[in-house]
Amino acid sequence: MKYFASGLLFDNDGVLVDSHGAAVEAWGQWASEFAPHVNWNDPANAGQRAEDLVRRWIASPDLFEQANDRINQLEQDSAHATIALAGAVDLLHSMVDDIWTVCTSANTNLGRARLAAAGLPVPKHLVTANHVQRGKPHPDPYLLGAERLGFDPADCVVFEDAVAGAQAALEAGVGLVVGVSEFALATDADIVVRDLTGITFDGEVLFIPDKNRLR
């Protein structure tokens, strides 16, 4: 499959990197301390900012800051365990800076740490939870990503794995949403691929091998 585009916008966790094990450990510890009653591992929570999840589960304004600081610390401490997913290293290292970026729900320190731990470049126009007032599923991260690259959202392609992220991309009006992994089959992505293996982009033509498509 070939698709004409100006820029690529990537979610990070579950698309470029595997941080699941570290996240399970961090959130499990956090829940035991602050909210043992919540189902923090519900797939519906995937792709959302930690700040938004904590605010949903911690009713006390006095406790919110402490709880939010704690999950940030736990996730930062586990960032070293992040690894690159198939195809991510080759794809990102093959592209120049101004045609791609990452739009992650992680905070800036965590996003950078996970990319570095996985051996992936940190993009010049990185968008994190700290840069937007509203996180996914709102369109703000992808609107800002396109803006920072200097492109119309309609000329961009988003790579996502989570329902909230795909919804954010669609609401941003991007040209194409590519779901990544079997997990993304539950999203409204236009197409779904197994991973990023064999995908190339030269700033004009995005090539996705048909053999890597799941939908």
Residue tagged active-site, from 11, 18, 140, 161: 11
- Please indicate whether residue 11 is annotated as part of the active site: yes
pTM assigned to the model? 0.95
Question: In the CATH hierarchy, which top-level class contains the domain 2-19+82-212?
Answer: alpha beta
pLDDT number for residue 118: 97
pLDDT number for residue 153: 98
- Please indicate whether residue 13 is annotated as part of the active site: yes
Mean pLDDT by 10 residues, the chain (215 residues): 98 97 94 94 93 95 96 97 97 97 98 98 97 98 98 98 98 98 97 98 98 97
* 90/174 Cα distance (integer angstroms): 24
pLDDT number for residue 151: 98
pLDDT number for residue 83: 97
pLDDT number for residue 41: 87
